[in-house]
Chains A and B, each alone.
Chain A
Amino acid sequence: MSSCCSVEKVPEEKKEGLKVVALAGNPNVGKTTIFNALTGLRQHVGNWPGVTVEKKEGIMKYRDKEFLVVDLPGTYSLTANSVDELIARNFILNGNADVIVNVVDASCLMRNLFLTMEIFEMGVKNIVIALNKIDIARKRGVHIDIKKMEKVLGVPVVPTNAKEGEGLEELKRTIASMAEGRITTNPVTPVYEELIEREIEHISSLLRGTPLEEMYNIRWLAIKLLTRDQEVIKLVLDYLGSGKMDEILKHISELEVYYKRSLDIVIANQKYEFIDQLMHQFVTHFGEAKETFSDQIDKFLTHPVYGLLGLLGVFYVLFKFVFTIGAPLQELLDSAFIALGEFVAPFISNEALRGLIVDGIIGGVGSVLSFFPLVFLLFVAMSILEDSGYMARAAVVMEGIMRKFGLPGKSFIPMVLAFGCNVPAIMATRTLDDERDRILTMLINPLVPCSARMVVITFLAGAFFSDHKALVAVGIYAISLFLALLSALILGKFVVKGEESPFIIELPEYSSPSLKVALVHSWERSKEFLRKAGTVILFGSVAIWYLSNYPEPIGNGLSYAEKLGKVFEPFTVLMGLDWKAAVSLIFGIIAKENVVATYGIIYGIGENEEALISLMQNAMTPLQAFVLALVTTLYIPCIATIGAIRAEGGNKWAFVASIYNLLLASVVGIVVYNVGLLLGL
């Protein structure tokens, strides 16, 4: 995990001189709902610099003033153990926010106040607490005296029910007053046992007078040192030198011997005890934890058998929804691009330029973009499942199965989405917290056949195996899924190293998702993908267009594409495929369904399917067709997918995925073809 933890400490530039409001809080506390309510969906989704953690920003208006609201990643604490936590921590430490809104779930106060105490300990003062889900807390019999809570914690507390819009005006008003410096606060900080306090004081005395005192809260540094926070140890080492650091570490070890456990446990324990004391001052009734209706549902939805059936059902409905709406839109967009090309063509007199623009850019980019409705709808479906709370249950059901292949249960979701389209599937990998899990899931994702490859598989299965077409098609799916899981094991061992992450996941309360929010969010994410993958798609489209039109148009064997096919032929022939297949596979990189269409172009018969089938039947044996379908499924991902991997994982992993897939396809193709020949097929 070491690579993940060096998130750079770059001070955020303040946009247009707007005051900055940062939202911090645990996952599942309704932070996003509050964000949406404050910004009224005037928002922008991007990434934090250098990492693939989603960054949401929006503008909040109060009276005549505007504020920039930043949604920090949802975290349970502010350690250096995950990218999310480091981002939130550095943002707060750097003083980037004029106001920090700590969103707290009133129905799980104890755990939520743990993060609150971590923020308070950092020495920041400009904090407002949004006590959200106050309605649920009341329903559970929890009574909170808000006035007393403000007094005990030393910061303003605004009770909210963000779903219903309750308390939001008050929250805005408080934020605005604090931003203008009209509220003074005095956040309470935890007091620890004598022995711990003495050590905190000792470390603090060493740190005082160093430049660190100017930049950080000394007490916070001391407490973080006691918990052996790697980032803080590194930081302090630079200023104190190893002699004094060794002395500090020696003291820590002595204390650990005394307490008979690690100090991070001792400190967390005492922090919870402190919170418990605070809570007794302002919580008058605590309510009783008991099994609820939601727990009954969970027993069913996380059951190894029923849960799995439920999961299949949910994803069946998901795909039904996505394809019923998406497929007609896809065709519409496709014909729109063709129409656009035809419209533009007469205006460009230069033939080469017209080819470049009409066939290369509009045609190529259009064929990739026609998948856009599918991508967008899959995002919408995902977003709804995520907001409803179901995703966490799906992760629990799949944990046992996926773990056998070195992957967490959550990685199942990107794999399922890939049956629709690999692009949203790869973008969905960012819900995995662990860097290793994320990269691994991303690398094996292209091996799951998407809907474009289904076109090729069913076409070839239908043309060559009319009696057993379903069996053949299912066989190809089974082989590629098997290879995906096998690859997870192999890549996890030799390429993407690191420890498997422990399985700890909160099951948030079920809630009814908002379609409006899902639409806005999905639109932002789809746009982000286009912006990032756009260059790859454009470049790829133009390159393929050039290869197929120079020095002469494809069809008579003189184009670079056909020549390239012939260059590859000595290699592809090992798997029984001639240069035509090689050319088709090159075109398939634009979009996999091109593999079949390219045959039509090479034979010069366009889209006449019957003629194409009979020509292909004469030129290929069923074994060769099977290998072609298999290789099409496995080799280099399409450019949109490569673009997605590049956007999410960087150039290195986009390259690794492409090469690995190509190697795998080659090996499998050669083996299957030759075994088939031996069997006399």
Chain B
Amino acid sequence: MVMLMYVRLTQMREGEKGVVVDIQGGYGARQRLLSMGIAPGTKIFVLKSGNPGPYIIAIGNTRIALGRGVAEKIVVRREL
């Protein structure tokens, strides 16, 4: 099976790690994510995934829950 390196957060599975590479989506949501520490370069760890969300990710000691709409907008480089 081929593992894609660059995926949307919604395609990440529980227990996977990655680095945020881009944040798409509207100005408001983007600003919110950036200020909460989800920016290009941020290392994340997926704690909860799967439809229809919400998704829970760990950034250091912070835990953030995201709706599906927002998680779609976050592009991640998967780390194996």
Contacts and interface: CB of A to CB of B under 8 A. Distances in A.
| Contact count band on A | 35 or more
A443 to B, nearest CB: 23
A647 to B, nearest CB: 27
Interface of A: 1, 75-77, 79, 81, 107-108, 110-111, 114-115, 136, 140, 227-228, 261-262, 264-265, 268-269, 272-273, 287, 289, 291, 294-295, 298-299, 302, 392, 395-396, 399-400, 403, 409, 501-509
Contacts of B25: 502
B19 to A, nearest CB: 12
Interface in B1-44: 22-23, 25-37, 39-43
Contact of B34 (A75, A268, A501): A268
Contact of A400 (B32, B40, B53): B53
Nearest to A28: B62
A261 B39 contact: no
Contacts of B61: 107-108, 136, 140, 287, 289, 509
A506 B61 CA distance: 11
Most chain B CB within a 10 A radius of its CB, from A262, A399, A503: A503
A439 to B, nearest CB: 17
Interface of B: 22-23, 25-37, 39-43, 45, 47-48, 52-54, 56, 58-67, 69-70
B8 to A, nearest CB: 15
Nearest to A304: B52
A502 B62 contact: no
B48 A302 contact: yes
B62 A108 contact: yes
Given A136-B61, A298-B63, 17 more contacts: A75-B35, A77-B31, A79-B31, A81-B27, A108-B61, A265-B40, A272-B37, A294-B63, A295-B58, A501-B28, A502-B32, A502-B67, A502-B70, A504-B64, A506-B63, A507-B63, A509-B61
A469 B62 CA distance: 50
A111 B47 contact: no
B22 A504 contact: no
Contact of B28 (A140, A261, A262, A502): A502
B63 A265 contact: no
A244 B36 CA distance: 33
Contact of A272 (B28, B42, B52): B42
A506 B62 contact: yes
Nearest to B63: A507
Contact of A298 (B27, B45, B48, B53): B48
Contacts of B28: 1, 81, 501-502
A111 B58 CA distance: 12
A267 to B, nearest CB: 9
